[in-house]
């Protein structure tokens, strides 16, 4: 009896797996996922030769909206161009950053949301006395997708080139933000 049941079970499984019916209708396309240049989700933008403005709170700021907006899990790193070794070799410093000047301390910082970011300049002295640190500044904004956040622990974010390599970002064609 057990052999007959086993034989019927095997026969039924073979019969059921060999059945084929008409093809069903095509399903709907899913939503497009976030994509950056060259299929990469990490992106780099540049603010070139921008000036800080003194706002109503007596703070020096640079404000920009993100288009498209980033995802809730994404992160932003911002680097300030602090100089160059030669015309092809820029020196990028991660902010927040404190500069120790003869006049006092100058701090660069930033915050961001899904829609925008703000870069701040503040200090222990009247920043208007050092306009070279407020005017004609260049910043790189690096958007890191949230799913890569576990990789961040092993990346030295102070090193701009290490971040570009770790997240496979091609920064030869950086988009300019206005």
Q: What is the DSSP string of 95-152?
A: ESEEEEETTEEEEEEEEE-SSEEEEEEEESS-GGG-GGGTSSEEEEEEEE-GGGHHHH
Cα 121 to Cα 98: distance, rounded to the nearest angstrom: 10
Tell whether 58 is covered by a domain: yes
Q: What are phi and psi of 147, to 5 degrees?
A: -70, -15
Tell whether 109 is covered by a domain: yes
Tell whether 22 is covered by a domain: no
Q: Which tokens in the block code for residue 167?
A: 């997240």
Q: Which domain holds residue 53?
A: 37-170
Tell whether 94 is covered by a domain: yes
Tell whether 149 is covered by a domain: yes
Tell whether 164 is covered by a domain: yes
Tell whether 10 is covered by a domain: no
Tell whether 42 is covered by a domain: yes
Tell me the per-residue pLDDT of 29-55, one tens digit each, with 9 for 90 and over. 655 544 443 344 678 899 999 999 998
- Count: domains in the chain: 1
Cα 111 to Cα 120: distance, rounded to the nearest angstrom: 8
Tell me the per-residue pLDDT of 141-169, one tens digit each, with 9 for 90 and over. 999 887 665 555 678 889 998 888 888 88
The pTM of this model reads 0.73
């Amino acid at each position: 009896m057990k052999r007959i049941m086993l034989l019927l079970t095997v026969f039924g499984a073979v019969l059921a797996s060999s059945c084929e019916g008409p093809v069903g209708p095509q399903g709907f396309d899913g939503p497009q996922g976030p994509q950056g240049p060259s299929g990469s989700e990490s992106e780099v933008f540049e603010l070139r030769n921008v000036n800080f403005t003194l706002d109503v709170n007596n703070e020096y700021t640079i404000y920009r909206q993100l288009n498209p907006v980033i995802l809730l899990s994404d992160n932003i790193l911002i680097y300030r161009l602090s100089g160059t070794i030669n015309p092809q070799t820029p020196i990028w410093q991660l902010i927040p950053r404190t500069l120790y000047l003869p006049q006092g301390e100058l701090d660069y910082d930033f915050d961001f949301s899904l829609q925008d970011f703000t870069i701040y300049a503040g200090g222990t002295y009247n920043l208007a006395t050092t306009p070279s640190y407020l005017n004609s500044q260049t910043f790189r904004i690096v958007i890191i997708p949230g799913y890569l956040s576990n990789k961040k622990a092993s990346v030295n974010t102070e090193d701009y080139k290490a971040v570009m390599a770790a997240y496979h970002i091609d920064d030869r064609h950086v988009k300019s933000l206005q």
